């Protein structure tokens, strides 16, 4: 396939690009390179003959349409999004612009391009919109899971913007016949994760002996999905998914935020003990909870297993250890991010996503 990936310099997007290139697909990566975009995450494929990077904005419909035509694209994987909940609370406008308006512009360009294709190519074309489980809102601590039929009930400006974009994608399918597929994932973690998110932030703070701030009591529950498992699932969906369908992608690994941080402390203590010999659990501090903090997310991913034969292959403990080891081995990747002007801004504190 010839695939246009938007947001391919981000955390999940770069994993998708690396996976697709390794599998022999032709990848065109369109990324604006905002603060969370990092081309060093793509160093392993930057010279591959089946990979091309283009710096640009998904809101630039003309650029997108020209790329689709120039590269004779078979499928779009739309991952470009503002995704940090704390940032959406402080400044929601950029989330509306990128996540809602950007998706609308992508759909406009895709529809124009799709209508120009020969009928046989139209049938094979796909627009894959990659979304989040946060659009479904909040679950009780002791019951319930998100399915593909769960009603939307977003709590934050971030999740509201993603919910709106999901609805636009479905509308372009129903109204115009554009062949779309959607996916909603649980919390991702793994290598190349930008250090404002829970797991990398706790790893790096723990390495430096800094406080490990956790919202509230740390009781909020998230399902955790190793990013390379997610990339494989997305490849399955774009290749074999049925037009008009959505697929939930989860890791079958529910943990409280406190359990995640404690596991990270224990892993760091084993792999890189503090000089003092103290446990990093002593660094955990509880801070005021954020507004609208959902209690629990849990994914039922039986549909993708049944229909596409995918299920997560990396268990949480194994994935967490791999992730910690990656950060220990790749200071050259994260150190510039920690020392940049961004490091002086307020980082997320145990958001979980």
Name the residues annotated as catalytic. Answer: 133-134, 158
What is the Cα–Cα distance from 178 to 210, expressed in whole angstroms?
50
For residue 292, give the 3-state DSSP assignment.
Answer: coil
Angle 327-329-334 (CA atoms, 0-180°, nearest 5)? 45
What is the Cα–Cα distance from 164 to 174, expressed in whole angstroms?
15
Say if residues 96 and 161 touch (Cβ distance below 8 Å).
yes
Q: What is the DSSP string of 86-148?
A: HHHHH-THHHIIIIIIHHHHHHHHHHHHHHHS-HHHHHH-EEEEEEEGGGG----TTS--B-T
What is the Cα–Cα distance from 34 to 31, expressed in whole angstroms?
8
For residue 53, give the 3-state DSSP assignment.
Answer: strand
What is the Cα–Cα distance from 267 to 147, expressed in whole angstroms?
33
């Amino acid at each position: 396939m010839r695939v246009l990936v938007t947001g391919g310099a981000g955390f999940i997007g770069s994993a998708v690009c690396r996976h697709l290139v390794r599998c022999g697909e032709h990848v065109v990566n369109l990324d604006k390179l905002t603060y969370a975009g990092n081309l060093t995450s793509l160093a392993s494929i930057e010279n591959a003959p089946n990979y091309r990077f283009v710096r640009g904005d998904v809101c630039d419909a003309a650029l997108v349409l020209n790329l689709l035509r120039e590269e004779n694209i078979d499928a779009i994987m739309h991952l470009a999004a503002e995704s940090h909940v704390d940032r959406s609370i402080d400044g929601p406008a950029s989330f509306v612009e990128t996540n809602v308006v950007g998706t609308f512009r992508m759909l406009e360009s895709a529809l124009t391009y799709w209508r120009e294709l020969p009928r046989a190519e139209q049938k094979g074309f796909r627009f894959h919109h990659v979304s989040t489980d946060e659009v479904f809102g909040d679950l009780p601590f002791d019951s319930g899971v998100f399915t593909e039929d769960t009603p939307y009930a977003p709590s934050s400006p971030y999740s509201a913007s993603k919910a709106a974009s999901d609805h636009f994608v479905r509308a372009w399918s129903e109204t115009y016949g554009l062949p779309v597929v959607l996916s909603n994932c649980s919390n991702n973690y793994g290598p190349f994760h930008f250090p404002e998110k829970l797991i990398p932030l706790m790893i790096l703070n723990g390495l430096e002996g800094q406080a490990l701030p956790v919202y509230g009591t740390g009781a909020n529950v998230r399902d955790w999905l190793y990013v390379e498992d997610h990339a494989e699932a997305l490849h399955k969906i774009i290749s074999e998914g049925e037009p008009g369908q959505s697929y939930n992608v989860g890791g079958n690994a529910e943990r409280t935020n406190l359990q995640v941080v404690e596991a990270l402390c224990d892993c760091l203590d084993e792999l890189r003990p503090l000089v003092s010999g103290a446990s990093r659990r002593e660094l955990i501090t509880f801070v005021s909870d954020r507004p609208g903090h959902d209690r629990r997310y849990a994914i039922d991913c039986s549909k993708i297993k049944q229909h596409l034969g995918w299920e997560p292959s990396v268990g949480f403990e194994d994935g967490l250890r791999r992730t910690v080891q990656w950060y220990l081995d790749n200071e050259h990747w994260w150190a510039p991010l920690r020392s940049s002007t961004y490091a002086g801004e307020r980082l997320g504190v145990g958001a979980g996503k």
